[in-house]
Structures are given as C-alpha cells and as structure tokens.
Chains A and B, each alone.
Chain A
Amino acid sequence: MASKFTRSNGTGWLMAGPAAFLIFCFVILPFIAAIGLSFTNQRLVSPNPTEFTGLANYSQLLGMGMLHLDPVKDDAGNLVLDDAGQPKLPELRSFTRHNKDYPGIDGMRELFSFASGEGRTYVLARDVVFMKAILNTFIFVIVVAPLQGGLALCLALLINQRLRGINVFRAIYFMPVVVSIVVVSLLWRFIYDGQSGLLNNLLGALSFGTLPRIDWLGNASTALGAIIAMSVWQAVGFHMVIWLSGLQTISPTLYEAAAIEGASKWQTFRYITWPGLRNTAVLVLVVITMQAFGLFSQIDVMTKGGPLDSTQTIVFQAIQRGYGKQDISGGSAISVILFVIVLSVSLIQRWLTREKV
C-alpha cells in the first residue's frame, strides 16, 4: 500500500513549488546564463549583435606567458651597463607590444620577475589585475579560514559555561553578525582613518605617541590586512554559535568519564571535545571558505580594490567588469572561474576531512 507520504506527493510539490520556482529563476537560470554568456562578447548595452567567441574571455583572463631576457651586449660582446652600473636588459615592452616574433605574449604585462642566469625571467599575464585579484582572494581565504574558525572556537569554549551573565557575553560576541557588513565597513573606515581614526589614536595613546600614524586603508601593505581583521571580527560570532551548538551535542557524561580517568583540560579538549566537534569543524571550515571567496562588500565600501590593486578580489572584479565596464561576458567568465575554484576547494576540503575508516 502506498504510504501517505508518496500519495501526497502532489501536495508536496505544490508546497515546494513557489520556492523552487524562485530558486530556478534567480539562482539556476542566471547561473546557466552566466556560463552561456561567458563564451560570447555580450555587453550590458550595445548596438552590436552578440557573437560567440569561444574561450576568448577565459584566455583573456587567465592567459599567462613567460619570457627570458638576456642582458644587452655591445658589438664587442661586452655587457652594456645602465646608469646604476647593472647589466642593461632590453625593454620588455619591445617584446610584448606588436612584436611579430612573439605573437603569443602580445599585449601581456609583467606579473613578477626573478633573476635567472645572466638575465631575468618574466612571468607575464594578459590580465594582471585579475591575477592580483585571484592572489588577494586566496590570501584572504587562507588567513581568514583558520583565524576566524579558531577564534570562533575559542569564544565558543569560553561561553560554553554555566556562569552568571554568560548570555551577555554571547550577545556581545554575536552582535556584529546582526549588523550589515556594509554598515560595519563604513564604521571601520572611521576606525582605520589615517588622521584621526580610532585605531591610530588608540595606538598613539598606548605608545605615548611614538608610533607613527598609518593610513590603514590607504597603504598597499596594510589595506588587505585591515580588511581581513575587520572581516574576521564581523563574522566570528556566527561561527561561534555553530561551534557552540556542536559543543552542546557532546554528552556531559563523556567529560565526567574523562575527569575520573584523570584527563587535564588540554587532554579533555584533545581527546573528547575536538573529536566530538569533527563534523562541526568540517561545516565551519567549508562555510568560512565559501564566504571568504565571495569577498566583495568590504572592498566595495572601503577601498574599491585599491590602493595599487592591493585589495582587488575575484568578486569585486566580476562586478566591476560586468557593470562598471559593462562587460557582461567578462564578468560572467569571472563568475564561472570563481565557481570552479570554490567547488574544487570545497571538494578537496571534503576529501581531506573525510571519515577515515
């Protein structure tokens, strides 16, 4: 006999219908459209018809090359020295700009270079800004994931106690999560202000004025770090709550058994708490990683990718291209690249944290 569950399937679909329809319209359809558009030259507004361009967008974004340059020698075969007394290298531009002998690297720019042999080897990229965006995003993820996860776990362990007023602390740590990241970013712009920012004033007061004032967001070497610190602070409460729920699934009797067996605080954490949090840890790690790859609002409000592209990120680039430069196809290609990156990172994480039997 068919169970009520299978017989009522129609009702079930009807109930899931509105949500499924909306998800299809606003998530699945745009996603498929993005993949499609990434193979065209579609612009946001353009009088020209859309053309299929194959992988042109991807090769434009990801195109890389390498070039080794030997020092310039005079007719006698001696090294030509530049003004600083160093061996002179030929101009890079002469190879990457309309040089018929090097069609593969035409239009590329230097990403970085290193000395090799007598000359230098240049790593070139067709889209240096996008490469920087990928690098910055990865730095952000690699720093934020362990930092935010670890800090959230510490907070969760601290507030997972029966103490008077513990809920006040829980509320305080959770508060930034409730505030919009845009508002938080605006507020932290004041904190990071180079002249009269709270952070500079605080550091100045603590060091009796010996520390120089730093324009945290205006300095290429501190901007990304400043955004990382703020982002960790903002979302740490959310992950604290997830850790907390994980902590509370661990039976108190296990802790009692460990106490009787003579486990120290650290041993209790190492043998009871941490293994008990295994699934929570995987969840927190994957969620933080995915969120971190989507870094955008902070950048948009605080630095717009600057200074000197030091805070460019993948999503910021996608938006800037798609809407700022009206290059919808380029923006779509970036989204697809981000999707592939996030998917593979998540799969690798799942594989690394799999249950080992």
Chain B
Amino acid sequence: MAAITLKGLKKSYGTAHVIKGVDIDIDDGEFVVFVGPSGCGKSTLLRMIAGLEDITSGELTISGRVVNDLPPKDRGVAMVFQSYAIFPHMTVRENVAFGLTIAGASKAEKEEKVGEAARILQMEHLLDRRPSQLSGGQRQRVAIGRAIVRKPQVFLFDEPLSNLDAALRMDMRLEIGKLHQQLGATMIYVTHDQVEAMTLADKIVVLKDGLVQQIGSPMELYHNPANLFVAGFLGSPSMNFLDVDVKGVNGQKILVSNAALDPVEITAKTTGYTVGGKAKLGVRPQYLTPVESGGMLHGSVALTERLGAETVVELTMKDGNRLIAALARDAVFPIGAELGLTFDPAQTHIFAL
C-alpha cells in the first residue's frame, strides 16, 4: 500500500538549509495537507517526495521502499502543478493520455481510460480542445485528469488552486475532496490557504522555516495549537494574542491580567509559568462576546466590518493593542464607542514566553 514516511528529511542549497529535518508518517489513502507561509519549504518538501529535488539527507519511503535516489517516474506518483503544466501544443485528449502514450499503451486502452477520467472530472466536452481555448479552472481539470489517468497510488498537489478566482477555487476544492473519496489514493496537498487545509485534510502538517510546527487533524490543530505560530496561522480572522502578566500559579491554573484585562484564571497545558512573568493569551475572535456592562476586556471600537451573517469589530484596547472580535450576527457599533467583551476562559490558549 502507498504509505509514505519521511525520516529526518533535510535539504540544503549550499549553506542555505531549506528543510531542516522533517519527520512525517502518512498512512495509505490519507489526505495530508502541508500548510505554511511562503518560503516555509512546503513546496520543496513536496518536490522532494516527487523526486524533482534531491534529498540532502534523511530517508523517504513510499510503500515501504526507500525511494531517495529513484527518478520521479519510478516512485509511482502523479503531480498537479500550480501553473497546470499542461502541454500547450496537445489537445486535452492528448494531454490526459500523455502518461499512457509514454508507456506505449494501445489506442483502445487510452480511449477508455481518458474517457473514464473525463467522466470523473466532467470534461468530456473539452477533450478535443487545445489548452489555449480553456479557462483556468478547465486547465486545472485537465492537469488533474492527466494525473488520475494512470491510477497512481500517490497524488501530489502543489498549490493547485492558487491561480483560480475565489468562487472557482471553492468549486475545485470540493471536487478534489470528492476525488479523494472516489479514488481512495494517498494525497499530499500543498497550500498556503488555511481554508483549503482545514476543509480537505485528514491530517495537516504546519511548516515554518523548514521545520514541522505541528501535525494533527484540522480540529486538533484548531483547538489545541502546539505553539503561538500554529495558533496564529489557523483560523480566520486570526487569533488575538494578549500580552499578559502572570499574577498567580496554582498547578495548571494560571491567573493572568493586563491593563485591559481583568484578572482571569486559565488552565494551561504546559508548565513553566512563574509569578511576575510574561505570557501570551490567545483568544479566537469568534469566542469574544460583547456585553452591555462589565466584561473582562475593555476597549473602544476602531472599525467594524459588516458581512451580513458576521460582524468583525476591531477594538483599540486600553493598553493600546488591537483586538478583533467576530460576532455571528449583524450588529452596529458606532466608532469610538466603549465596548466590554467577555469570553470563556476554557476556550483560550496560554503560551509561556
């Protein structure tokens, strides 16, 4: 089966270390998303798995076989590129059949398999067109068609939706999800878009500066981020971080406060807090609720964005910092108005500094 393991994988260009030792286990049939900001090495890691980049050190196995030094074609992978990489001088049919042509498949076999791939991707009517006559979404469909026609065990997607507009991106996202269910193959998907990561993944790998920050299911990462970076990276709008002073430590219970925050007791998952020390308190905008009077956080409204079903309020806190609250309803807040907010301490995250 097509399980993939990365053991201590490293990649350097001269003295520039791009991937600094990555360990990931990917089960057969799993949908794994590599996510991270630009330059975190996620694409490089994918290209190392594909065989398009050399592996400096470490071990890569696919289906239990070490493939470090195998050329791409012997790794049994298919890849979909951000720029589609469909061959401009071939028709859609020839593009989709390319892998079969290379392998010397018969005409009948090509016809059948291309037909099947076209049916899955609903592009039968496009088969005789040339790439220049296709829209971006159609081109990406062709690229996916070329990947699935050989029935590989592993699919690699390198930011496949980045060049599409928002509406199309959502459609294609759903289709890729469906495709995964239909084919049951192992898929590795690279993106910088956390929505794609959250919606598609069985398992998310968050990368930063060539290092894995956290691996887990989307909800695990969302509710239990391992560090500040993961906490800030996932979720939209991103998590608020309050600089707080530690006022008291009682086992797992930490009492914190700052100029804008009334003292509140938080249950920490880690240790290392000392009274008088500093910490960061993370609160997701969705878990902040405005209250008529009182409240635990105080500030004045600086900006509101009314999206209909949601209202995003930006506040300037008493200590001068910024805070974002996202309310799941339409509401009007005059700019400059004083606002008190409350939250459930159990829904917050505290990070020692």
A261 contacts chain B at the CB level, 8 A cutoff: yes
Residues of B within 8 A of A261 (CB): 73, 78, 98-99, 102, 146, 150
- Contact of A276 with B by CB under 8 A: yes
Would you call B73 and A257 a contact (CB within 8 A)? no
Q: Which residues of B contact A259 (CB under 8 A)?
A: 51-52, 71-73
**A271 CB contacts on chain B under 8 angstroms:** 87, 90, 98, 101-102
Interface of B: prevailing SS: loop
The reply to whether A254 and B89 contact each other, CB–CB distance below 8 Å, is: no
Q: How far is the CA of A261 from the CA of B146 in the complex (A)?
A: 9
Of B51, B78, B83, B85, the most chain A CB neighbours within 10 A belong to B85
Q: How far is the CA of A276 from the CA of B101 in the complex (A)?
A: 18
Would you call B81 and A253 a contact (CB within 8 A)? yes
Write out the residue numbers on chain A whose beta carbons fall within 8 Å of the beta carbon of B86: 257
Q: Chain B: which residue is nearest A254 at the CB level?
A: B85
Instruction: Give every chain B residue within 8 A of A251 (Cβ-Cβ).
Output: 83, 85
A262-B85 CB under 8 A given contacts A256-B52, A257-B79? no
Task: Determine whether B212 belongs to the interface, using a CB cutoff of 8 Å to chain A.
Answer: no
Residue A93 CB within 8 A of the other chain: no
Closest to A257 in B: B85
The minimal Cβ–Cβ distance linking A249 to chain B, given in whole angstroms, is: 11
Complex Cα distance A24/B81, Å?
52
- Interface residue A45 (Cβ < 8 Å from any Cβ of B): no
Q: Are A262 and B89 in contact (CB under 8 A)?
A: no
In contact, A262 and B102 (Cβ under 8 angstroms): yes
| B353 proximity list for chain A (CB < 8 A) | none
User: Chain A contact residues: over half helix, strand or loop, or mixed?
Assistant: helix
Residues of A contacting B52 with CB < 8 Å?
Answer: 256, 259-260
Q: Write out, one digit per residue, whether chain A residues 233-272 have a CB within 8 A of any chain B CB (1) or not (0).
A: 0000000000000000001011011111111100100011
Of listed A251, A262, A264, residue having the most chain B CB within 10 A: A262
Residue of A at shortest CB range from B130? A357
A-B contact count (CB 8 A): 62
A275 to B98 alpha-carbon distance, docked (Å): 14
**CB contact list, A259-311 vs B, under 8 A:** 259-264, 267, 271-272, 275-276, 278
Candidates A254, A258, A260, A276; contact of B50 at CB < 8 Å: A260
The answer to whether B103 has its CB under 8 Å from any CB of chain A is yes
A260 touches B87 (CB 8 A): no
Give, as a whole number of angstroms, the nearest-CB distance from B110 to chain A. Answer: 13
CB distance from B167 to the nearest CB of A (A): 25
Contact: B77 with A254, CB < 8 Å? no
Bound Cα distance from A254 to B84, whole angstroms: 9
In the complex, chain B residues 64-107 whose Cβ is within 8 Å of any chain A Cβ: 71-73, 77-79, 81, 83, 85-90, 98-99, 101-103
For A257, A262, A276, the residue with the greatest tally of chain B CB atoms inside 10 Å of its CB is A257
Given contacts A271-B98, A275-B89, A276-B89, contact A260 B77 (CB under 8 A): yes
Query: CB within 8 A of B102: which of A254, A263, A276?
Result: A263
Distance in angstroms between the alpha carbons of A267 and B81 in the assembled complex: 20
C-alpha spacing A261/B88, complex, angstroms: 16
CB-based nearest A residue for B73: A262
Q: Cβ of B83 and Cβ of A253 under 8 Å apart?
A: yes
Residue of A at shortest CB range from B98? A261
A257's contact among B71, B81, B89, B150, by CB below 8 Å, is which? B81
Q: What's the Cα separation between A254 and B78 when bound, in Å?
A: 14
In the assembled complex, the Cα of A278 lies from the Cα of B89 at a distance in Å of 10
Q: Quick one: given A251-B83, A254-B87, A275-B87, are A260 and B98 in contact (CB under 8 Å)?
A: no
User: Which residues in window 221-255 of B have CB below 8 A to A?
Assistant: none
Q: How close is A248's CB to chain B, nearest CB, in angstroms?
A: 16
Residue contact B85 to A256, C-beta cutoff 8 Å: yes
A269 → chain B, closest Cβ, in Å?
13
A264 to B85: give the CA distance in the assembly, Å. 18
Which residues of A have CB within 8 Å of B88? Answer: 276
Tell me the complex Cα distance, A26–B86, Å: 48
A251-B83, A253-B83 as given contacts; A260 in contact with B102, CB under 8 Å? no
A264 to B102, CA, bound (A): 8
Would B89 and A253 count as touching, CB distance under 8 A? no
Shortest Cβ gap from B50 to chain A (Å): 6
Query: What residues on B are CB-neighbors of A260 within 8 Å?
Result: 50-52, 72-73, 77-79
CA distance A214 to B88 in the complex (A): 52
List A contacts of B71 (CB < 8 A): 259
Q: List the B residue with the shortest CB-CB distance to A262.
A: B73
In the complex the two chains form, what is the Cα distance from A28 to B102 in whole Å? 52
- Tell me which of B72, B85, B98 contacts A253 (CB under 8 A): B85
Please state if B99 and A262 are interface contacts (CB–CB under 8 Å): yes
| B81 CB contacts on chain A under 8 angstroms | 253, 256-257
Known: A251-B83, A260-B50, A275-B87. 9 other contacts (CB 8 A): A251-B85, A256-B50, A256-B72, A256-B79, A257-B79, A258-B98, A261-B78, A262-B99, A275-B90
10 closest residue pairs by CB, A with B: A262-B73, A257-B85, A275-B89, A253-B85, A261-B99, A260-B72, A259-B72, A260-B79, A263-B102, A262-B102
Residues of B within 8 A of A (CB): 50-52, 71-73, 77-79, 81, 83, 85-90, 98-99, 101-103, 146, 150
Q: Can you list 5 A-B contacts with CB-CB less than 8 angstroms, sorted by A residue number?
A: A256-B50, A260-B50, A260-B72, A261-B98, A275-B89
**Which residues of A does B touch, CB under 8 Å?**
251, 253-254, 256-264, 267, 271-272, 275-276, 278
